[in-house]
Amino acid sequence: MAFINYVTQIQFEFGAVRLLTQECARVGITRPLVVTDPGVRAAGVLQPALDALEGLPVAVFDQTPSNPTEAAVRAAVQLYREQRCDGLIAVGGGSAIDCAKGIAIAATHEGPLTTYATIEGGSARITQAVAPLIAVPTTSGTGSEVARGAIIIVDDHRKLGFHSWHLVPRTAICDPGLTLGLPPRLTAATGMDAIAHCMETFMSAAFNPPADGIALDGLERGWHHIEAATRDGSDKDARLNMMSASMQGAMAFQKGLGCVHSLSHSLGGLNPGLHHGTLNAVFLPAVIRFNAEADSLKKDRRLERMAHAMGLPSGGDVAEAVKDMTARLGLPTGLAALGVTESLFDDVIRGAMADHCHTTNPRLASADDYRAMLAASM
C-alpha cells in the first residue's frame, strides 16, 4: 500500500523571516530556543531571525556541529530546560534543523536518543509530545524544513535516521534572501544535495505519483539554476529556484531514497568532516549507472524523463552529466580527493546495508555491488 502525505505550512518569499513572531503565536511557542551553528551566527544570517523575534524571551544554542550529534542534542536539551523553553526555531542548514528535531524528541521523551532511531524500530515511539518546531533554512540543500526525518550521529558513532510525521516542522519559513551570502562552494555542495534528493527519490520504485511530479520539477529547477547561484550569489532568481528545488526534493523523498544516501550516511558517520551534499554528488554517477539496469526493464523509463528535465539527449547521458556538473561547480568528483581510502570500504558497506535508505533503491544492492560503486566513485 502506498502512503502519501503532504506536508506542512510553508511561507515562501523574500523577506518571509519577518513572519517568525506570527508563526510562533500560531503554533503556541512563547519561549523559543533558537538552534543554529557558529557559521550562521558569524555570517550575520541569524540576526534577521532574532530581530523578527523581538519581544519574545529567546534562548540561543549556536553550537550545532556540521553533522549533528547526540552530544550536541544533549547540550541543547539542557539549555532548553534551564530556560523553560516551550518550542524550537531552527535557523540554518540541514544540520541545525536536524539537530532541532533531535532536541524536539529528547526534550520530551525518556531514554537515549538511539531508542527512537528508525532502524532500531523507534519511529513508532516518537509521539505528538515532541516540542513544536519552526524551521528557517539558510541553505538550499537538505529540505529538512519540510521533511519528517533527521540524520544524527549517535554516541556509538553510527549516523542514524529518525523519522516520524510528528517531526515535520509546524511551519517552514523559506526566505531565499537568507541564502544570498552563502559562499560558492557551500552553494554548490548544498545544491547538489537538493539535486540528489530529486533524482534519487524519482528513481525509487515506490508508488507516489505526486512525489514523482514534485521531484522532476525540482530537478529541472535545481539543474538549470545551480551554476548561476554558485557563480553569482546575489542572483535572486537562481537563489529562489534553488530553495524551491531543495524544498521539493524533501517533499518528494517521503517516497524513499536509495544507495546514494546509504553510502553517504555510512561514510559520513565514519568521517563526520565530510560534507553530505558533496558525498551525494560523488556517489550519484555510480549509483545512476547501477540503477540503469533496473530502469531499462520498466516502461516508464525514469532516466529518460530525468534527461528531458535536465535538457540532455538521452538517459544514458545522465550519469556523466552529473559528474561534469560537479566538476564545473568546483567540487571533488572522487572519494580519493576527499582523503577516502579503500581501507574504509568494509565499514562503509556494512553501514550502507543497514541504512534505512538501502531497501528503497530501485535495485537491491549486495555487498559486492556497494564495493563496485565505491570503487567507481574513487
User: Over the stretch 295-350, which tens digit does the pLDDT of each residue have?
Assistant: 766 777 899 999 999 999 999 999 999 999 999 999 999 999 999 999 999 999 99
pLDDT score recorded for residue 254: 82
Please report the pLDDT score of residue 253 as a whole number.
84
Question: What band does 26 get if pLDDT is binned at 50, 70 and 90?
Answer: very high
* Cα dihedral across residues 364, 367, 372, 377: positive or negative: positive
pLDDT of residue 301: 86
Mean pLDDT of 167-188: 93
DSSP labels, 185-220: HHHHHHHHHHHHHHHHHHHS-S--HHHHHHHHHHHH
pLDDT score, position 297: 64
The residue type of 277 is: G
pLDDT per position as a tens digit, 96-155 = 999 999 999 999 999 999 999 998 999 999 999 999 999 999 998 889 899 888 989 999
pTM above 0.85, yes or no: yes
Contacts of 170 (CB under 8 A, 6+ apart): 8, 9, 23, 26, 27, 132, 133, 134
Judge whether 238 and 180 are in contact, CB under 8 Å. no
Across residues 90-98, what is the average pLDDT? 93
**pLDDT range class, residue 5, cuts 50, 70, 90:** low
- The amino acid at residue 278 is T
Q: In the predicted model, what is the mean pLDDT of the chain?
A: 93
3 falls in which pLDDT band (50, 70, 90)?
A: low
CB 211 within 8 A of CB 4: yes
With 0-12 CB in 10 A as exposed, 13-18 as middle and 19+ as buried, what is 331?
buried
- The continuous run of DSSP H or E covering 236 comes out as helix 236-252
